[in-house]
Amino acid sequence: MNNDELIHRHVDGLLSAEESAQLSHLLETDAAARGRYLEIAGLHAALAADETLRLSVPVVRPAQESRSVRIRSIRQLAAGVMLGGLAVGTAWAIVQPRALRVAPLAVKAALADAGFEAGAPIPSSSVPSEPGQWTGDPCAIVEATGRVQPREGGRMLKVLSASNTGDFVGSKNMAADLWQVIALPGSGPRSVRVRAWFNADTAKQARFALAAVAGNDAAASAKELWDQRYNESAPLPFARTTMPVDHDPATWEAGELTLQVPPHARVLVIGIAAFRLSDEPANGWFPAQFVDDVSVSVSEEVLP
């Protein structure tokens, strides 16, 4: 078997343990063989999936190892070129022609009383003017109610009404709303994920909505930011999703949305809505609809 056949059998993962030892000795003692190995291994590395190479010790692998391990060692050896010759078993310098992009790092944003465990009453008002509090239409922080248990912890939010003035026949308030304003961490383009969990103990299917809008303004202007979320002439980073909730009060359904925010975004307004059962009498519009375990995470791609 000539040297080229031996090298090709190695990169194809066909070498026996004896042949692997033979190739290792060849690369240690023959400069021409090392050059040919690099040529063949480089071709195979170019055809393999792209993966940034890091400093590593190349080793000729026996045939029983996995293909992913063999491919990695081929890339490493193909990239390890040192002026004046090289030696198998030494650390080879790895050239990185471009900065390495690492996976986005998710950071939890500071959301006040995300699981409603504090038990403090939620003010009945519009979008808050500062972070760190929930506001909204009439609601209550409750423990286990009827057949519904909190998803996490010992408390959850129960929707009461779609209007501060009370639900009544002819009311145009189609949903009970809940809001919170948070400061967005990070400074570059970011991906924001908002999640909340919903449940209902109703005879008919209940529906909820989850929405978020981001802006560059201070929290004091959060209400204006929320009011402009549908403004097509000056579009804002905005996302909204609706979800039905099944008839099983023992299960919670997750609502989730993701929006991309630009570097200048500093504030996020979260909105949660529970739709009324409009074909019911006014006093039965929100028989038992619940929210729990809200979370916001922010991911930003960074360079090392």
Residues 125-161: pLDDT tens digits? Answer: 999 988 999 999 999 999 999 999 999 999 999 999 9
Q: Specify which residues 289 forms β-bridges with.
A: 200
* Closest C-alpha to 182, from 134, 138, 233: 134
19 token code pair: 């042949």
Q: Which range among 162-176, 214-228, 255-269 has the greatest average pLDDT? A: 255-269
Q: What is the CA radius of gyration of the chain?
A: 30
260 token code pair: 């991309």
Higher pLDDT, 191 or 97: 191
pTM above threshold 0.75 = no
Note the pLDDT of residue 187.
84
SS3 content of the chain, % helix, strand, coil (to 5): 20, 30, 50
Note the pLDDT of residue 41.
74
* Closest C-alpha to 37, from 56, 69, 10: 10
Cβ atoms of 222 and 133 closer than 8 Å: no
Dihedral sign (CA 158, 164, 166, 172)? negative
Q: What is the dihedral of CA 158, 152, 177, 131, to 10 degrees?
A: 130
Question: Helix/strand/coil (H, E, C) string of 2-41?
Answer: CHHHHHHHHHCCCCCHHHHHHHHHHHHHCHHHHHHHHHHH
How far is the C-alpha of 3 from the C-alpha of 8, rounded, in Å? 9
224 token code pair: 């204006």
Q: What is the dihedral of CA 129, 274, 111, 141, to 10 degrees?
A: 100
- Is 105-300 assigned to CATH 2.60.120.260? yes
Average pLDDT, the chain: 80
Q: What is the mean pLDDT of residues 39-54?
A: 56
212 token code pair: 């978020």
Domain boundaries, the chain: 3-79, 105-300
Residues 227-275: pLDDT tens digits? Answer: 999 988 889 999 999 999 998 999 999 999 999 999 989 999 999 999 9
Residues 57-113: pLDDT tens digits? Answer: 444 444 444 444 444 444 454 444 333 334 344 333 323 334 444 445 678 888 999
